[in-house]
Amino acid sequence: MATLDEHYTVADKAGSIGLKVVAFLVLAFLMAPILVIVPLSFNVEPFFTFTPGMLALDPEAYSLRWYAAIPENPNWMLAIRNSFVIGILATILATTLGTLAAIGLASADMPFKRLVTAILLSPMIVPLIIVAAGMFFFYTRFNLVGTYFGVIIAHAALGVPFVIVTVTATLSGFDRSLYNAGLGLGAPPLAVFLNVVLPLIHPGVISGALFAFVTSFDEVIVVLFLAGPDQRTIPRQMFSGLREQINPTILAVATLLVIVSAALLIASELLRRHAERLTGKSRRQGE
């Protein structure tokens, strides 16, 4: 009997290698502009270009002066504090609403499921400039423009679709017989959800929360429309710095953002693998 390797010709191997090379080239094309800012953030000179000393790897051409300048600037400290406070509160709100919506959409009795799903996921599809303009005109009627609450609920609205997608994907592998068994044993639905469902889908919930936090942490267009001077976030401060006073402090902050985003991405991948293991266990238990 012929094996798979016998049908794997030289052309197939060349095609496989070619696809891998193209994939790495695309990855390099996407990552190069991001990675360039990392060494530039250590430039001792106030330039956005590589100096001869940096190219020669002269230690004196590198410095932490721009990182040290971040705590000394009250605007940056305000932006960092606002980004974390707004991001955390928006994430809590988006995770709660998105998880409840995903559970409702996973029900077979949900009416107009496709229409409701399309509406809930629309912030991911509609251009942000349109979303921001619509929010601005809507929030002005309730005096929410220029308030922390207005920015928080706006960021939560942008994060809800990511929570719905991740939790829905986790629920697709959930064995509903476990839920029905809990109800059959006399437990109330809320107790079954907290003690049975939530422990099994929590990797998807946490993963959605991470995506919601990143969405809020990196958002600039909505902040430009809705935030006042006291609600400026890191992206808003970076945008203002590029327009008003350019210095490598922006590169230092951008490097820190890259590190935070990479850490969240790694955490999300670990949670995804954990969710796959839990899904496999629940299926085996159901069998």
Q: What are the residue ranges spanned by the domains of the chain? A: 74-286
The residue written with tokens 């839990």 in the block is 278
Q: What is the DSSP string of 90-121?
A: HHHHHHHHHHHHHHHHHSTT-TTHHHHHHHHH
Q: In this predicted structure, what is the pLDDT of residue 88?
A: 93
Q: In this predicted structure, what is the pLDDT of residue 91?
A: 94
Q: In this predicted structure, what is the pLDDT of residue 280?
A: 58
- Which residues, in sequence order, are CB contacts of 195 under 8 Å at separation 6+? 182, 187
The residue written with tokens 């094309």 in the block is 29
Name the CATH superfamily, with its identifier, for domain 74-286: MetI-like (1.10.3720.10)
| Alpha carbon distance 287, 278 (integer Å) | 14
Q: Where are the alpha helices (DSSP H) in the chain?
A: 10-40, 52-55, 65-72, 74-106, 113-125, 128-140, 148-172, 176-184, 189-192, 198-218, 221-226, 234-244, 249-286
| Alpha carbon distance 126, 161 (integer Å) | 12
**Distances in Å between the alpha carbon of 171 and those of 99, 177, 205, 238, 240?**
10, 13, 10, 38, 42
What are the per-10-residue average pLDDT scores of the chain (287 residues)? 59 82 88 83 82 83 87 89 93 92 82 86 87 90 89 92 88 72 76 78 85 88 88 87 76 86 80 66 52
Q: In this predicted structure, what is the pLDDT of residue 178?
A: 74
| Alpha carbon distance 238, 232 (integer Å) | 10
Residue 242 DSSP symbol: H
Q: In this predicted structure, what is the pLDDT of residue 153?
A: 93
Q: What is the DSSP string of 171-189?
A: HHT--HHHHHHHHHTT--H
The letter for the amino acid at 181 is A
Q: Considering the entire predicted model, what is its pTM?
A: 0.79
